[in-house]
């Protein structure tokens, strides 16, 4: 019996992803303002080993080298983010021309090497000046984001056709203002947290309007979503376990997905929230629910779920020795790609998808010759691509996949201790070394199939 080919459709997009705060460095260069992560990293105990994003991968000064690297690896699509405080140092008010100039040069460098930019307008680096005035807890931040989005799309929209509004609302709101593990490190009450989620959704809607108004007729735009808690995977594909997964997906995502895809908050959510429900101004529903062209999903792991004795979802605990990567939460559950796509489609009606992040951190070992033979990362990605192929082969409209990440980088609260890159970065020298997984992924791209 022959091996399945796992070939993807013609025109399927293969790319890599990064984020400005994790790779650019140059934290104060050329007029850049302070971000919440710059400030958060100065507080002892917030970041492992006291690391900061001040230098990171020094991409700000090495972007042409990194563009050459992508070209040499055969990468033709690159998801990047723009640093809000680099463009608007105070979050609102005067534009920093040198900040926009950098992204001009970066986009031109990519296009000149045959690489298509996919630009994320916000990937967690809120200007600290806005946080000092309330951050995402106040509506003014969404209004400031509208003006920032107008400036960026207005400047780059003649060359950039693919836009993402916000990256992972559950993380920068839920972990930034809920449990306080991420910048700005606040812990607010349920009412304030729901209001912050609402302001983030409003900012998304404003960014959609910016792309529609300033991005040109061919521009496309969508949100990048992740799941906290992790997406449910039916432990056995029975009707009962699949139904349990649907119920749990609804309950854990309705506060964000319903306003986007159903035109407003569900009554069940509003009743459950009670006095903690978000306050909405006239017109907010329409701004948030503007049609988008796709939904980006960042997927790393899932939770196995079954129908309990009473029919309600039961999340199964992982055995102590269950396979995982070099993060405590990074369990090897490749089925998550298939089920997250299917559940987003069946529960909320999302239609077109990109996998905007997928990858793994492992304890990379450098050989005496300087190579990184990361077979573990290759196997992680390969198994997830097989699950993605299942979704595509069953007719789900998945247009592309972006590996996380091009480079080892500043991994938020983990600092530089955790490495997700296809390319190793020696932070002492800034030397870039493609790992075995980079060569493997180059072949996947070239042949558009799982190899």
* Residue with the two structure tokens 């983030």: 200
Residues 333 and 245: their CA atoms lie apart, in Å, by: 15
Which of 34, 250, 357, 411 is the catalytic position? 357
The one catalytic residue in 24, 168, 250, 411 is 168
Q: Is 24 a catalytic residue?
A: no
Cα-trace Rg, the chain: 21
Pair 256, 225: CB distance under 8 Å: yes
- How far apart CA 227 and CA 170 sit, in angstroms, is 7
131 — phi, psi (to 5°)? Answer: -60, -35
Positive or negative CA dihedral for 377, 382, 383, 384? positive
Distance (Å) of CA 199 to CA 75, 99, 237, 312, 423: 35, 25, 37, 32, 36
Calculate the CA dihedral of residues 193, 337, 344, 173 and round it to 10 degrees: 10
SS3 call for 431: strand
Pairing of strands 423-426, 431-434: antiparallel
390/7 Cα distance (integer angstroms)? 11
Q: What pairing do the DSSP bridges indicate for beta strands 116-122 and 77-81?
A: parallel
- Contact between 231 and 336 (Cβ < 8 Å): yes
Burial of 407 (0-12, 13-18, 19+ CB in 10 A): buried
Q: Are 149 and 206 in contact (CB under 8 A)?
A: yes
168 is catalytic: yes
Q: Please list the active-site residues.
A: 168, 357
């Amino acid at each position: 019996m022959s091996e399945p080919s796992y070939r993807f459709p013609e025109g399927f997009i293969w790319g890599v992803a990064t984020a400005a705060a994790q790779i650019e460095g140059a934290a104060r260069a050329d007029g850049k303002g302070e971000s919440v992560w710059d400030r958060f990293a100065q507080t002892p105990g917030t970041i492992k080993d006291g690391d900061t994003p001040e230098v990171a991968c020094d991409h700000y000064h090495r972007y042409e080298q990194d563009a050459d690297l992508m070209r040499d690896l055969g990468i033709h699509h690159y998801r990047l983010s723009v640093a809000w405080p680099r463009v608007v140092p105070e979050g609102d008010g005067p534009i920093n021309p040198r900040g926009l100039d950098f992204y001009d040069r970066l986009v031109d460098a990519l296009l000149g090497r045959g690489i298509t930019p996919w630009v994320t307008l916000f990937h967690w680096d809120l200007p600290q000046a806005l946080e000092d005035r309330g951050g995402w807890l106040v509506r003014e931040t969404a209004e400031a984001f509208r003006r920032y989005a107008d400036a960026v799309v207005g400047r780059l929209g003649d060359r950039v056709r693919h836009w993402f509004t916000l990256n992972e609302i559950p993380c920068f709101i839920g972990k930034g203002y809920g449990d306080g593990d991420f910048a700005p490190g606040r812990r607010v009450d349920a009412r304030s947290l729901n209001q912050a989620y609402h302001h983030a959704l409003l900012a998304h809607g404003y960014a959609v309007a910016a792309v529609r108004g300033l991005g040109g007729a061919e521009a496309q735009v969508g949100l990048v979503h992740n799941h906290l808690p992790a997406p449910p995977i039916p432990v056995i594909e029975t009707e009962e376990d699949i139904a349990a997964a649907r119920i749990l997906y609804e309950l854990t995502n309705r506060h964000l997905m319903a306003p986007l895809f159903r035109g407003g908050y569900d009554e069940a959510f509003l009743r459950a929230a009670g006095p903690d429900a978000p306050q909405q101004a006239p017109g907010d529903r329409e701004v948030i629910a503007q049609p988008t062209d796709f939904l980006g999903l960042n997927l790393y792991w899932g939770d196995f779920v079954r129908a309990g004795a009473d029919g309600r979802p039961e999340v199964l605990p992982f055995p102590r020795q269950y396979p995982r990567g070099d993060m405590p939460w990074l369990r090897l559950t490749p089925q998550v790609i298939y089920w997250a796509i299917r559940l987003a489609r069946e529960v909320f009606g999302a239609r077109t998808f990109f996998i905007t992040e997928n990858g793994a951190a492992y304890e990379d070992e450098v050989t005496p010759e300087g190579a990184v033979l990361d077979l573990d990362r290759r196997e992680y990605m390969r198994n997830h691509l097989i699950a993605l192929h299942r979704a595509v082969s069953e007719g789900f409209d998945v247009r592309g996949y972006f590996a996380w990440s091009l480079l080892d980088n500043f991994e938020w609260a983990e600092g530089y201790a955790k490495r997700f890159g296809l390319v190793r970065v020696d932070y002492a020298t800034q030397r870039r070394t493609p790992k075995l997984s980079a060569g493997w992924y180059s072949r996947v791209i070239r042949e558009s199939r799982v190899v």
